[in-house]
Amino acid sequence: MLRAVGSLALILCLSLAVWAQEKSPLERVQADPNDVTAWGAYWSENFRIILSQMQSDPKAALKQVDEIEATLTKHPPTSDEAKTSLTRMKASLTSLRASLAVAQMSFADLEKELTANPDDAKALANYTRKAVMEIGRQARSEPEKADEQLTAIKASLTKIKEAAKDDKTKETIDSTFKNFANIERAIAGSRKLEQLVGKDAAPLDVEAWVNGKPLTDADLKGKVVLLDFWAVWCGPCIATFPHLREWQEQYGDKGLVIIGMTRYYNFKWDEEAKKAARAKDEVSPAEENEMLVKFAEMHSLKHRFAIQESSAMSDFYAVSGIPHVVVIDQQGKIRTIKVGSGEENAKAISELLKTLLEEKKTSAVGVHEAKSDLEAVLKAQQERNIGSKPEQAKLKKLLENAEAKE
C-alpha cells in the first residue's frame, strides 16, 4: 500500500514537473515580456490560427488580431531586442487587418471595380493584395494551379495598365510585377520539393552530434528517418516540439530516428534566465553544444541534434525556410517534405509515420511467418526422409534469406 502511494506521489511529481515546463507561449510572455523566443512562439501560434480562419471565418480571425494587440499592449518589454520584435508584430497586425478586409471581398468584384476605374488606387491595392493572398496560399501546396492563376492575373493587370491614364497607376503595376517574383520563387521551390519525393536521401554531412550518440549512414539503414531543419531562435520551430516529442515517444523504439538538423548561431545558455540567448562575444562550438543540451532538457526533447558540416544537406533538400521536415522511408527514399509548423503539416507527417512503421511491422510479421513455415517443411522432410537433396538445399537457402530479413 505504501509502495503504491509512493508510486502515485512520484507520478504526480513528474506530471507537475512536465506541466511546469510546458508553459504556453502566452504564459511565457506574461512571465517575461523580454523573452524574444516566447514572443516568437506566441506570434507563430496565433498567426497560424489567423491564416487558417482568414478565408473561412474572417470575423473570428479579426477577433484574434484584437486579442494579440491587447496582449502586446498589456505586456510591454523593456529590452531593445524585444521592443524591436513587438514593433514588427504591430506593423504586421496593421497589414493583417487590411488583408482580412480584402478576404471578405470576392476576386470577381475586385476585378470588376478595377476594370471600371483603372486609376482607382484603393481598388488596385485591394486587387493586388487579394492576388498575393490567393496565389501565395496555393504556391506551396498546388504550384501548378498557382502558376496558372498568376499568369491570368498578370494578363489582367497588363490590360488594366494599358487602360490606365495615370502614370502612378502604371508604376504601381510595374512594381507589383516585380513583387510577384517572390511568389514565382515559392512556386519554383514547391516544384523542386515535389521532384525530390521518391529520390534517394542525401548522405549525412554532420560536424557534431548533440543530445545523443553520433550516427552514420549505415546506422540509418532500414530505419524511418525524420530530418527536422530548425534553429533555437525560430519560434515556428519551437511550436513543432510537442509533435516531435509525441513522435519520439510513440515510435522511437519502433524504428523511427529523428534528427534535428541545425547550425551554430553564436548562442549561449543564459543560466539566470534559463534560456538560449544570442551572445555578443564569439561562442565556441563546445559552448554552443552545451547550450543545445540544456535547451533540449528544458523542452524535454529526446532526439539527437546534428550540426551541419556545410550547406550540402540544406541545399539538397531545398531548405529555404524553417521548420523544414523531410521523412525518409526504410528503403532510403524521400517520402515527403513539409515546410512550416501548421497543424495540417503535422497531421500529414503523423499519418505517414504511422503508415511507414505499420508497413514495417506487417512486413516483419510476414517474414517471421514465412520463416516458421520453411522450418516446418524442412524439418518434416528431414524426419520422414522425403524430398530430394536439391529441394532441401533450396529450402535451406530460402530459410537463410528469411533469417537475414528478420
Please check the confidence at residue 51 and state whether its pLDDT lies above 90. no
User: Ramachandran region of residue 201, left (φ > 0), alpha (ψ -120 to 50) or beta?
Assistant: beta
Tell me the pLDDT band of 140, cut-offs 50, 70 and 90: confident
Does residue 63 sit in the same domain as residue 151?
A: yes
- As given in the structure block, the three cell numbers for residue 302 are 529526446
- As given in the structure block, the three cell numbers for residue 296 are 533540449
In a domain, residue 131? The reply is yes
> How far from the centroid of its chain's Cα atoms is residue 60's Cα?
25
Q: Is the dihedral of CA 203, 316, 306, 352 positive or negative?
A: negative
Angle at 10 between CA 9 and CA 15, to 5 degrees: 100
Helices (H) and strands (E) in the chain, counts: 15, 8
How far is residue 258's CA from residue 243's CA, in Å, rounded to a whole number?
A: 11
Does residue 319 sit in the same domain as residue 365?
A: no
pLDDT of the residue at 312: 95
What average pLDDT does the segment 74-91 reach?
Answer: 93
Please check the confidence at residue 168 and state whether its pLDDT lies above 70. yes
Does residue 173 sit in the same domain as residue 277?
A: no
Does residue 370 sit in the same domain as residue 225?
A: no
Q: What is the pLDDT of residues 371-390, one digit of tens each?
A: 565 566 556 556 655 545 55
**Which residue in the block uniquely carries the three cell numbers 561562442?**
283
Does residue 211 sit in the same domain as residue 177?
A: no
Are the C-beta atoms of residues 349 and 243 closer than 8 Å to each other?
Answer: yes
Count CB neighbours of 164 within 10 A.
20
* Cα–Cα distance list, 159 to 52, 107, 117, 150, 383 (Å): 33, 16, 12, 14, 89
- The pTM of this model reads 0.65
* Cα–Cα distance list, 11 to 2, 8, 16, 36, 129 (Å): 14, 5, 9, 33, 53
Phi, psi angles (nearest 5°) of residue 64: -65, -40
Q: Is the dihedral of CA 392, 394, 399, 400 positive or negative?
A: positive
Does residue 61 sit in the same domain as residue 146?
A: yes
Residue 251 structural domain: 206-341
* Cα–Cα distance list, 373 to 175, 306, 361, 398, 402 (Å): 72, 44, 19, 11, 11
Q: Is the dihedral of CA 220, 221, 225, 227 positive or negative?
A: positive
In a domain, residue 122? The reply is yes
Does residue 250 sit in the same domain as residue 309?
A: yes
Are the C-beta atoms of residues 280 and 268 closer than 8 Å to each other?
Answer: no
pLDDT of the residue at 351: 95
Please check the confidence at residue 217 and state whether its pLDDT lies above 90. yes
In a domain, residue 68? The reply is yes
In a domain, residue 9? The reply is no
Please check the confidence at residue 350 and state whether its pLDDT lies above 90. yes
Q: Which residue has the higher pLDDT, 17 or 209?
A: 209
pLDDT of the residue at 58: 83
Tell me the pLDDT band of 268, cut-offs 50, 70 and 90: very high
Are the C-beta atoms of residues 231 and 322 closer than 8 Å to each other?
Answer: yes
What average pLDDT does the segment 120-134 reach?
Answer: 89
**C-alpha closest to that of 184 among 131, 124, 116:** 131
pLDDT of the residue at 7: 40
Range scoring the smallest mean pLDDT among 6-20, 90-104, 267-281 = 6-20
pLDDT of the residue at 141: 77
Does residue 129 sit in the same domain as residue 221?
A: no
Last residue in a domain, options 144, 174, 196: 196
CATH number of the domain where residue 324 is located: 3.40.30.10
pLDDT of the residue at 101: 84
In a domain, residue 135? The reply is yes
In a domain, residue 93? The reply is yes
Last residue in a domain, options 165, 196, 227: 196
In a domain, residue 12? The reply is no
How far is residue 396's CA from residue 402's CA, in Å, rounded to a whole number?
A: 10
Q: What percent of the chain has pLDDT over 70?
A: 83
Does residue 158 sit in the same domain as residue 293?
A: no
Does residue 185 sit in the same domain as residue 246?
A: no
How far is residue 16's CA from residue 23's CA, in Å, rounded to a whole number?
A: 11
Does residue 378 sit in the same domain as residue 308?
A: no
Does residue 143 sit in the same domain as residue 245?
A: no
Number of domains in the chain: 3
Count CB neighbours of 248 within 10 A.
18
pLDDT of the residue at 15: 38
Please check the confidence at residue 64 and state whether its pLDDT lies above 70. yes
Query: Beta strand pairing status for 304-308 and 324-328?
Result: unpaired
Please check the confidence at residue 87 and state whether its pLDDT lies above 80. yes
Tell me the pLDDT band of 405, cut-offs 50, 70 and 90: low
How far is residue 326's CA from residue 304's CA, in Å, rounded to a whole number?
A: 15
pLDDT of the residue at 59: 86
How far is residue 31's CA from residue 23's CA, in Å, rounded to a whole number?
A: 10
What average pLDDT does the segment 163-177 reach?
Answer: 94
What average pLDDT does the segment 130-137 reach?
Answer: 84
Q: Which residue has the higher pLDDT, 259 or 394?
A: 259
Are the C-beta atoms of residues 127 and 99 closer than 8 Å to each other?
Answer: no
What average pLDDT does the segment 47-56 reach?
Answer: 77
pLDDT of the residue at 392: 54
Last residue in a domain, options 136, 168, 196: 196
pLDDT of the residue at 376: 61
In a domain, residue 394? The reply is yes
To the nearest whole number, what is the mean pLDDT of the chain? 85
pLDDT of the residue at 20: 39
